[in-house]
Structure 1
Amino acid sequence: SRENAEKTRLNVKKKLMGSIDINNRVKKFVDCRTKDVEQRELYIVEGDSALGSCKMGRDAEFQAIMPVRGKILNCLKADYPTIFKSEIITDLVKVLGCGVEIQTKHNKDLSSFDLSLLRWNKVIICTDADVDGFHIRTLILAMIFRLMPTLIKEGKVFIAESPLFEITYRNKGEEKTMFAYNEKEKAEILQKYPAEKCTLQRSKGLGENEPEMMWETTMNPVTRRLIKVVPGDEQATMETFELLLGDNLAGRKEHIERDGHLYLEMLDVD
């Protein structure tokens, strides 16, 4: 009935805009200490194992962590009622704090977006440097693009690069650890140091990282590598998301055949 539909809409809106306090906690969300929004960073990480590594490696003063469990809902394919039934989506919206931007007239009363309520200066997507990690990263970006594109337009969204390789050089009691984020960097490091004195290890995922490595490579503002997600042409961006996550299987196959070679170094084929 109309009355039940209205009640459902009000409940969803309340859920999306609810404050986070002792009575309304978000499962597994780890907050930071500072209340200064200009300093606060939210790391959206892949799974419980990455949550543990990030929690131990972070600076708890200004870095908070929100884990996602596996691959979240594809927000490009789903309608709004389905999206807002997803606990992880509504939890993410609540943690971000700024509400959502609804585009369709049938659901526009759920639109509650207010950038001034965003709880973070940086929203950082942090996933493993493998195929699954890249897929999860794309799904999170699609969620933000669908529900709160202003965050991208305002330069609030970032991707944390994680290293593909850890290279340890040992010589006469000296030990030095270096990190390579791609095949080219790996080759450059191995040119500088004798291969027989180097130990090379491919990343097993963020959950396997020691806290010191996590801080140095992914969380330390001085040494980490962040990619800022910048807005492009909106129509072209939507077409790219549709190509990667939509139903156009023939187009996706053509894209892989044409451009797949550009991404070969990202594959773990060992």
Structure 2
Amino acid sequence: MSVAPKEYNAKNITALEGLEPVRKRPGMYIGGVGSAGLHHLIWEIVDNSVDEAMNGHASEITVTLHKDGETVSVSDNGRGIPVDKHPKTKKSALEMVLTVLHAGGKFEGDNYKTSGGLHGVGASVVNALSKELVAIVKRDGVQYRMAFSRGQATSKLQKLRGTIRGTGTSITFTPDPTIFPRTTFNGDTIKQRLETASFLHRGVKVTYIDEVAKTRDTFLHENGIVDYLGKVIKEREARTIHEAPFTYRVDDEDRVEVTLQWTESTDEHVRSYVNGIPTGSGGTHENGFRGGVVKAVRNHVDTHSLTPRGVKITHEDIREGLIAIVSIFVAEPQFQGQTKDRLNNPEAHGLVESGVRSAMEQWLNNNPSVADAVIARIVAAARARAASRAASEAVSRKGGSKRTLLPGKLSDCVSGGKGKSELFIVEGDSAGGSAKQGRDRNCQAILPLRGKVLNTESATLKKILDNKEIQDMIASLGCGIGPSLNLANLRYDRIILLADADSDGHHITTLLLTFFYRHMPALIADGRLFIAVPPLYRIDIGKETFWAADEEDRERILAEHNGRANPEITRFKGLGEMMPKVLWNTTLDPTKRTLLKVEIDDHLETDRTISDLMGRDASARFRFIMERAEDASEIDV
């Protein structure tokens, strides 16, 4: 049956007005409506207060998470948003800032020397995505109030009674539940972000009041990012190889602050910021920092002939173990997207690189004992990298031809990496056997893992490469590992982690995630890594069968069918006891299964969590358990 084409002309073109575009496509402005997007609302308002502080107009910022856990207030003692009427629109400046996209005081250089929000959309976006927002402004001894809902004014600008001292702005908002699936804020996430802001803007007092947890924290760091570096090193339990950090600071029109220390860690950890905004994806300023460090060290090594015979030093060797904070302030930042995750200013590269290179060369020359320790650390890294490369090559040579490189226990699929092929990495031989029998052989490959997976967070690279299970995973994927990873050689479209639905299975999944995050992060960034959700319970009610992934899911199903026939509940001991057909119907069948895509919303938080939960220091895990002991109503053992 053919369908006549619909007309397509001018009346089909929709022009969204006011803040409608924000409500229609919130992801364009805040990155998504998940947890990261929800908290981005707070960052937008906080950034406005920080802008006042950066330009010398405010000294205190207070953020309050109210008792409902869904309402946040951000106040500062800055100049206060103007309330006089705009000559063109005849609306108050306050209403324009909160209801008109690209309306703000940051387009003209006289108002703000540097700023995190130059697009003029932050406050209006928050207003558009809030079911209620109230702005209170203190200016000229008078207090003003105006209320909004979903981007529209619900009250006129009101002049409140009484004489007020001081100036400032307070924004109180509650996210719109029709936009966000979950509107409850995470107090710890807010606290960490605010503490970071206090490090980046030394001398600014930042107070966080959490009415849910009934806590109050005040952050004030006169030493700025130097204090921040010490905190990061302590959190990561890293042992430094030199006592005093390298610090470079310029307070000209384009302000640059850098501090770093080399440690005994085997990875590099850089946290970068532009105008106080974290740039998790880096950018030109971070690339300039890395280039400056590498060039300074190379010049020092070459000048003093410090390279041992037979050792080749790479830029990875120089940066291994480096922990650094990079913070720059520029008048016209060019961010990649409204979420400001990456800086694109080309001039920032040269600005940071030249300054860091010159200052570090002088620092190394003036501190010979520090320089000796740093160079010894770099040479050791170069030798270790050469040893691990040799070990990796040895793993590859064991198989001979490309075909025989594949591990024998891999049950490959027919499609061989074309189309929608999938590799299931399965816990245990028995589960692997059920998966092999129940799978779609045309597009689903099965790789069973024997025994406990190696914790790669606390293992050396050589030990990792010597591990048989990890060798099998690397060989099966075919794309390499670490810096040499090439996605073009990946043999499967998706990699799916399949473990038991109990606590042991979750632990194994966490161990595998740690490996992929540390040594194959490109698979996560490219959206290739998934977690399968097998059932933990089978629930038979009358003639119907239901599958529950966990206890909460089980209780939900029982509540929905309360009053019917007595349910029969079976708890699976593991995937291995499932019949192949059951495993297919519940976990493998693409039309029925549930897959969790592995994504990283906050690289810094992810790194800290993995370091705490999987690192060598058990005290971090002890603190984690003790802080959450009251939340554990049932322990799966």
1:52 — aligned with what? Answer: 433
The alignment's TM-score, normalised by the length of structure 2, stands at: 0.38
* Residue among 384, 387, 392 paired with 1:12: 392
Q: Which has the larger radius of gyration?
A: 2
Tell me the amino acid that sits aligned with residue 533 of structure 2. E
Q: CA deviation at 1:9?
A: 3.5
Rounded Cα–Cα distance in structure 2 between residues aligned with 1:35 and 1:21:
13
The structure whose residues are more often helix, as a share, is 1
Secondary structure class of the residue paired with 1:76: helix
Tell me the amino acid that sits aligned with residue 236 of structure 1. E
Q: CA deviation at 1:68?
A: 1.0
Rounded Cα–Cα distance in structure 1 between residues aligned with 2:401 and 2:547:
37
Rounded Cα–Cα distance in structure 2 between residues aligned with 1:157 and 1:19:
28
Rounded Cα–Cα distance in structure 2 between residues aligned with 1:153 and 1:194:
47
1:106 — aligned with what? Answer: none
Q: CA deviation at 1:195?
A: 6.5
2:522 — aligned with what? Answer: 150
Q: CA deviation at 1:240?
A: 0.7
CA spacing shift, 1:261–1:207, aligned 2, 3 Å: farther
1:215 and 2:595 correspond: no
1:64 and 2:432 correspond: no
Secondary structure class of the residue paired with 2:458: coil
Rounded Cα–Cα distance in structure 1 between residues aligned with 2:391 and 2:617:
35
Q: CA deviation at 1:147?
A: 1.2
2:602 — aligned with what? Answer: 233
1:181 — aligned with what? Answer: 549
CA spacing shift, 1:179–1:244, aligned 2, 3 Å: same
* Residue among 471, 474, 479 paired with 1:93: 474
2:628 — aligned with what? Answer: 259
CA spacing shift, 1:264–1:14, aligned 2, 3 Å: farther
1:140 — aligned with what? Answer: 512
Rounded Cα–Cα distance in structure 2 between residues aligned with 1:154 and 1:226:
16
Rounded Cα–Cα distance in structure 2 between residues aligned with 1:162 and 1:219:
9
Please say if residues 535 and 548 of structure 2, whose CA atoms lie closer than 8 Å, have aligned partners that are also in contact. yes
Secondary structure class of the residue paired with 1:216: helix
Identity in percent: 38
Q: Which has the higher contact order (CA 8 A, sep 6+)?
A: 1
Rounded Cα–Cα distance in structure 1 between residues aligned with 2:619 and 2:564:
44
Secondary structure class of the residue paired with 1:197: coil
Instruction: Show CA shifts across 1:24-50 (max 9, x none).
Output: 340311100113533110000001011
1:127 and 2:499 correspond: yes
1:80 — aligned with what? Answer: 461
1:243 — aligned with what? Answer: 612
Q: CA deviation at 1:193?
A: 4.9
Root mean square deviation of aligned Cα: 2.7
CA spacing shift, 1:227–1:256, aligned 2, 3 Å: same
CA spacing shift, 1:231–1:19, aligned 2, 3 Å: farther
Instruction: Show CA shifts across 1:168-219 (max 9, x none).
Output: 123xxxx221101122322232231547532101121100111121011111
Q: CA deviation at 1:248?
A: 2.8
1:35 and 2:416 correspond: yes
Rounded Cα–Cα distance in structure 1 between residues aligned with 2:601 and 2:503:
24
CA spacing shift, 1:11–1:74, aligned 2, 3 Å: closer
1:104 — aligned with what? Answer: none
The aligned length equals 255
CA spacing shift, 1:223–1:264, aligned 2, 3 Å: farther
Rounded Cα–Cα distance in structure 2 between residues aligned with 1:195 and 1:231:
42
Q: Which moved more, 1:211-220 or 1:185-194?
A: 185-194
Tell me the amino acid that sits aligned with residue 501 of structure 2. A
Rounded Cα–Cα distance in structure 2 between residues aligned with 1:135 and 1:206:
15
The alignment's TM-score, normalised by the length of structure 1, stands at: 0.85
Tell me the amino acid that sits aligned with residue 51 of structure 1. G
Please say if residues 167 and 179 of structure 1, whose CA atoms lie closer than 8 Å, have aligned partners that are also in contact. yes
* Residue among 193, 198, 202 paired with 2:571: 202
Instruction: Show CA shifts across 1:74-117 (max 9, x none).
Output: 1111111111111111111111111011xxxxxxxxx4211110
Rounded Cα–Cα distance in structure 2 between residues aligned with 1:122 and 1:264:
35
Q: CA deviation at 1:118?
A: 0.6
Q: CA deviation at 1:141?
A: 0.8
Please say if residues 494 and 528 of structure 2, whose CA atoms lie closer than 8 Å, have aligned partners that are also in contact. yes
Please say if residues 160 and 218 of structure 1, whose CA atoms lie closer than 8 Å, have aligned partners that are also in contact. yes
Point out where structure 2 has 5 or more consecutive residues left out of the alignment: 1-309, 312-383
Please say if residues 33 and 61 of structure 1, whose CA atoms lie closer than 8 Å, have aligned partners that are also in contact. yes
Tell me the amino acid that sits aligned with residue 457 of structure 2. L
Please say if residues 425 and 447 of structure 2, whose CA atoms lie closer than 8 Å, have aligned partners that are also in contact. yes
Rounded Cα–Cα distance in structure 2 between residues aligned with 1:256 and 1:123:
31
2:336 — aligned with what? Answer: none
Tell me the amino acid that sits aligned with residue 55 of structure 1. K
Rounded Cα–Cα distance in structure 1 between residues aligned with 2:393 and 2:612:
31
Point out where structure 1 has 5 or more consecutive residues left out of the alignment: 102-110
Rounded Cα–Cα distance in structure 2 between residues aligned with 1:8 and 1:76:
16
Rounded Cα–Cα distance in structure 2 between residues aligned with 1:19 and 1:114:
20
CA spacing shift, 1:185–1:69, aligned 2, 3 Å: same
Please say if residues 30 and 65 of structure 1, whose CA atoms lie closer than 8 Å, have aligned partners that are also in contact. yes
CA spacing shift, 1:132–1:184, aligned 2, 3 Å: closer
Secondary structure class of the residue paired with 2:583: helix
Secondary structure class of the residue paired with 1:99: coil
Q: CA deviation at 1:237?
A: 1.4
Please say if residues 99 and 112 of structure 1, whose CA atoms lie closer than 8 Å, have aligned partners that are also in contact. yes
Secondary structure class of the residue paired with 1:123: strand
Rounded Cα–Cα distance in structure 1 between residues aligned with 2:510 and 2:400:
27
Please say if residues 496 and 529 of structure 2, whose CA atoms lie closer than 8 Å, have aligned partners that are also in contact. yes
Instruction: Show CA shifts across 1:131-152 (max 9, x none).
Output: 2111111111111112111101
Please say if residues 19 and 97 of structure 1, whose CA atoms lie closer than 8 Å, have aligned partners that are also in contact. no
CA spacing shift, 1:76–1:19, aligned 2, 3 Å: farther
Please say if residues 20 and 95 of structure 1, whose CA atoms lie closer than 8 Å, have aligned partners that are also in contact. no
Please say if residues 48 and 69 of structure 1, whose CA atoms lie closer than 8 Å, have aligned partners that are also in contact. yes
